[in-house]
Amino acid sequence: MDNPENINPTGSNMLSASKARVELDSGEISSEKLVRDCLDRIKTRDVDIEAWVYLDPELALEQAKTKDKETPKGLLHGIPIGIKDIYDTYDMPTGYGTEIHKNHQPDSDSNWVKTLREAGAVIIGKTRTTEFANPYPTITRNPHDLERSPGVSSSGSAAAVADFMVPLATGSQTGGSVIKPAAFCGIYGYKPSFDGLPTGGVRHCKPSIDTPGFFTRCLEDVALMRAASLNTPINSLKLKNKDELRVGICKTEFWSEALPETASMIAEVSEILSSKYVKVEEVDLPIEVSIAMKEFRTIVATEDAKSFSQESKDHLQELNPWTQKVYNEAKSYTNQQYENAKVLAARGRTAIDKVFNYYDVLITPSARGEATKDLMAVETSYFNSIWTLMYLPCLTLPIFKSPSGLPLGIQLVCRRDCDDLLLAIGRSIEQKIKQ
Q: What is the distance between the alpha carbons of residues 32 and 54, in angstroms, rounded to a whole number?
A: 19
Position 169 pLDDT exceeds 80: yes
What is the per-residue pLDDT for 1?
59
pLDDT for residue 244: 82
* Lowest pLDDT segment from 62-71, 74-83, 196-205, 252-261: 196-205
Nearest to 194 by CA among 414, 389, 411, 423: 389
Across 344-363, average pLDDT:
97
Residue 267 reports pLDDT greater than 80: yes
- Mean pLDDT, residues 247-258: 93
333 confidence band (pLDDT: 50, 70, 90): very high
pLDDT-derived band at 420, boundaries 50, 70, 90? very high
Mean pLDDT of the region 322-327: 82
Q: Across residues 221-239, what is the average pLDDT?
A: 96
Strands 394-401 and 211-216: unpaired
Instruction: Check whether 329 has a pLDDT greater than 90.
Output: no
> pLDDT tens for residues 113-167?
999 999 999 999 999 999 888 888 889 999 999 999 999 899 999 999 999 999 9
Percent of the chain with pLDDT strictly greater than 70: 99
Q: How many residues does the chain have?
A: 435
- List, edge to edge, every strand of the sheet that includes 279-282: 52-55, 122-127, 80-84, 168-173, 211-216, 188-191, 394-401, 407-413, 361-365, 246-249, 279-282
Q: Which domains does the chain have, with CATH numbers?
A: 4-230 (3.90.1300.10), 246-290+343-434 (3.90.1300.10)
The mean pLDDT value of the chain amounts to 93
Confidence of residue 3 (pLDDT cuts 50, 70, 90): confident
The answer to whether 102 touches 59, Cβ cutoff 8 Å, is no
More confident residue, 311 or 45: 45
Q: Report the 10 Å Cβ neighbour count for 188.
A: 25
Question: Which has the minimum average pLDDT: 38-52, 110-124, 197-211?
Answer: 197-211
413 band by pLDDT with thresholds 50, 70 and 90: very high
> Residue 305 pLDDT more than 90?
no
pLDDT at 427 exceeding the cut of 80: yes
Rank 51-65, 126-140, 312-326 by mean pLDDT and report only the highest. 51-65
pLDDT at 99: 87
What's the pLDDT score for residue 132? 85
Which residues are marked as active site? 84, 153, 177
Q: How far apart are the first and last CA of the chain?
A: 27
